[in-house]
Amino acid sequence: MKPRDDKKADDIYKATLSLVKAKGLAGITMGEIAREANIATGTLYIYFKNKSELINSLFTVCRNASAAVYFKNFETSMPFKTGFKTIWYNLLNYRIKRFEEAVFIDQCYHSPFITETTKEMTKKLFMPLYSLIDSGKQQQLIKDHDTIMLLTFMAGSINETVKHAYYANRKITKEVAEEMFQMCWDGIKA
């Protein structure tokens, strides 16, 4: 029996991400994905039942990967600001390093491929962030606004800035990143 090549599913994912970044979800075909991944069209269907399942499956992989990264180096015992900054930088670095995944996830949200249940599960994954913000509010270190609003403010500035840097072909230096963090912090602090 010939075993399945683990690397191949990954190649397919990579090819898909790269094509979506270049042409959008509306622009990709199974044929192109196969070509980009250096495999035959038929092989795609060994690894994924159909296009929809490929997209959904990639969405789940990306989302889980991102959720895992958000809490790297974070300890509940940290002072609030330190913890917040840790997560802020994790988010920024993730968006920079895996820009393609961010674009893909954004596009999926308004697409016929992703099911409602998949979207629901995504919400749950980010629950831990809520507790962090809540604790900051309890310690009166940050503004007493709606938790989701505060989180969204944080995420929004990062997302948009990374997107812009990418399109304008600019690198986000250490100094710029620190400036960005300062703006975000000044915005939410009490």
Partner DNA sequence: TTTTTAAGTGAATATTTATTCATTAATTTT
Partner DNA sequence: AAAATTAATGAATAAATATTCACTTAAAAA
Residues that bind DNA (CB under 7 A): 1-5, 8, 28-31, 39-47, 50-52
Nearer to a second copy, 132 or 158 (CB): 158
Residue 97: which of DNA, a second copy, none does it interact with, CB under 5 to 8 A by kind?
A: none
Interface residues with a second copy (CB under 8 A) are 20-27, 103, 106-107, 110-113, 143, 145-146, 148-150, 152-153, 155-161, 164, 168, 176, 179-180, 182-184, 186-189
Query: Contact, 104 vs 20, CB < 8 A?
Result: yes
Work out how close the CB of 128 gets to a second copy at its nearest, in angstroms, rounded to a whole number.
18
CB of 21 to DNA, least distance (A): 17
Q: Identify the CA nearest to 10 among candidates 21, 22, 18.
A: 18
Nearer to DNA, 43 or 159 (CB): 43
Residue located via tokens 């820009």 = 99
Select from a second copy, DNA, none the partner in contact with residue 105, using the beta carbon and a kind-dependent cut-off of 5 to 8 Å.
Answer: none
Burial letters for 117-156: b for 16+ Cβ neighbours within 10 Å, e otherwise?
A: eeeeebeeeeeebeebbeebbeeeebeeeebeebbeebbe
**Alpha-carbon distance 52 to 41, whole Å?**
15
Specify the amino acid at residue 149.
Answer: M
Question: Minimum distance from CB of 56 to DNA (Å)?
Answer: 12
